[in-house]
Structure formats: structure tokens, C-alpha cells
Amino acid sequence: MEGRIKEIFVQKEALGYPFTYRILERLKDRKFHIIKEESPFFDDPRYKPKKDSLYLLVHKGSFLKPCPGTKQYICCRYQILNIGINCPLDCSYCILQAYFNQPYLRIFVNIEDGLKEVLNYIDERKDEIFRIGTGEFTDSLALDPITEWSKILIPHFSKRKNVILELKTKTGSIEGAISLPYRERIIISWSLNSPLISTKEEHGAISVEKRIKLAGICQKEGFVVGFHFDPLIFYPNWKEDYLRTIDLMERYLDPSKIIWISLGSFRYMPELKNIIIRRHKKSVVLNGEFIKGMDGKMRYFKPIRIELYSYMYDKLSSWYKDLGIYLCMESDDVWKESFGWSPKNSQGLKDFLDKRVIKFFGR
Ligand code: SF4
């Protein structure tokens, strides 16, 4: 990823932070520009990803936010540590294309100050369990060789008893995490898909086989790992293709060291459709029929979603019974029809996942 960055923009205010200088030193051969004020031209409202340029800036809001799940569906009450916005990968289905209309890979240089506030907040709530991830508004590890986020975050989270940090990626940038002596309460997770969808739609990601092999290496290095089959895509031969991914998991992984596997079917904000048509002309993700869900997002019809989930659940569970499989943003009846049980509501799903944390890391 480091080689793909061509230019760096630095907000004037960001010059007051050591993090900024560490990045400029690491990428000292790249062009850089100081931005005094974000002009309308710089912040072009038309979507221009500019995935080859970093923008170093000061984040003004809170660094810790609840995952923007939905009230209408069962949500796991995950928390997002907002370290940056936008991603150097370019998955056709990526919801960020519609969420954020600002260009550049935006990296928050006041992360170390923000982290202190987040840790204070966690320490004041010792009875709660926090499941925190950095991979919602960017890939957790794609930029790690440049930002060294893992070195900044892992030591702090690994020491605490009421939190786990999940680093979710589709890349092979695990060296920073592995080189540290911390394993407790750190989960390295990979998003998975069928090999076909990965090749056609996940531009810039490593292959599914490589992801699974690296997860096996992480397990041998003492990490607990997780997986996210999200988005599951319904297309001809999907069953055989997803089975290939599960076969690779069986070949390379120890299932007893997998904390959870989430399943989510493709869903999108209506605004994303035209962006996908414009930016990803060969994409197949929009093939098929969608309906508007209770949260306003487009989703597959319920019988299709249930078919996807129950197939994946059966195949994964026949490999190993205790994989912590859960659904992302689904309703009670879809849970029951797909899995034969349901956590009933968001608190029930949070309890289920918190118990997985206690099983793997204690309390
Ligand atoms: S890796 Fe995740 S954040 Fe990055 S482009 Fe793909 S879906 Fe979006």
C-alpha cells in the first residue's frame, strides 16, 4: 500500500502533532502540500475517491462511536474507534462510497490524544465489556505500514480487562501486529467472500486463500482470529463458490481459536446504486432483485437472505459446532428461520458476543 501513495496533503493545524511528522518522515520522497483552509475545490462534494493521496488532519469529534447499526434490526452494539476515513482498497460494494463524499484517505493525526480520552471512558466503566473495532470507516491494517496504528493501539487495549480490539482487514499487513509482544484481547479478523466475488469485486485486496493462510499464521503466533462473510452475494453457483472458501478454512485454520464469524447479506443505501454503476462497470453485485428494508436500505428478499444464511450456517457448523456465528443487522424471524435460534434483540446479541469474549479472554 505504501507504494501506492503519491501525494500527501496536510491540514495546517495537523502540523502541531508528532504523528504528522512520523508519516512525513516515512514518506519523505512524496510530494506534500499544506492546506491552510479546505476550499470548496479541495472538498469537492462530487465523489472523487483519490485513493492515492493521504490527507492528514485533526479530528474534532469523539474518537469512539457506536456502530451505525439500525434500530429496526438486531445490532451487536459494537463500538468504532474512528482513526481515519476512506480506504485504499476499492471494493465495488463498499458503503463508504455513499457515506462519505469527501476525497482522500483521511487520517486523524490527534489519535494519541483521542486514545487517552477513549481509554479513560473505558476505565470508568469497568463493569461493561467494550467490543471495539477500527475497520468500519477504513480497513484496519491496509495503511498500517505507514500509520503504525497497530503499534499505537494494541499495547493499550491488550492490557485492559473490559475490552477487546478487533482489527479487520482484507490485506496482508499483519507484520506490525505480529512484531509486538501482545496477544491478549486483540482479535485479527478478515472479511471473507467467495473466491469469485473477491476477485471480481474486492479491488486491491489479497486473495481469499492468502487471507485464510495469514489467519492460520496469526493463530500459530497466538492470536485469536475472527471472520466476517459480509456481504454475502447471491449469484449463480454461489453455493459451490462459498463452499470453496469454507474448504480453505478447514484446511488452514484451527476452529477452536475462532472467536466469531459474522454473516451479512448485501445491502446498500439507494444512493450507492448509481455510484456502483458509474465506478464499477463490471460489477455483478447489483444483479438480482432488491427490496427496501425497514431501515431504508435495499436488501435481498427475505427467502433469499434466509437461504444464504442457513446454507452458510449449516456448512460452517458441520465443520465445527462452536464458531460464534451471528447475523449482522437482521430481524428476529430471519435469525430463527436461518439458525433455529435468535438472541431476540440487540441486548441479547451483545450478551452472546460478550460471552464469547469472556470464553476466549476471561474477565
Ligand atoms: S476493504 Fe472495506 S472499507 Fe475498504 S473499500 Fe473494501 S469494503 Fe470499503
Q: What is the Å distance from ligand 1's center to 12 Cα? A: 28
**Which among 132, 156, 137 is positioned nearest to 96, based on CA atoms?**
137
Q: According to CATH, what is the number of the domain 61-101+110-361?
A: 3.80.30.30
Which residue carries 500500500 as its cell?
1
* DSSP secondary structure code for residue 13 in this structure: G
Look at residue 38 in the predicted model and tell me its pLDDT: 62
* Residue 94 CA, ligand 1 centroid: distance in Å: 5
Give Cα 262 distance to the centre of its chain. 11
Residue to mutate, 4, 96, 136, ligand 1, most ligand atoms under 8 Å from C-beta: 96
Residue 227 and residue 247: Cα distance in Å, rounded? 14
Does residue 94 have its Cβ closer than 6 Å to ligand 1? Answer: yes
Q: What is the rounded average pLDDT for all residues in the chain?
A: 94
pLDDT of residue 214: 98
For the chain, give every domain's residue range: 61-101+110-361
3-class DSSP state of 312 = helix
Residues with pLDDT less than 50, the chain: 40-41
The finding on whether 295 has its CB within 6 A of some atom of ligand 1 is no
How many whole angstroms from 51 Cα to the centroid of ligand 1? 12
Can you tell me which atom of ligand 1 is nearest the CA of 95? 8
Query: What is the model's pLDDT at position 48?
Result: 64
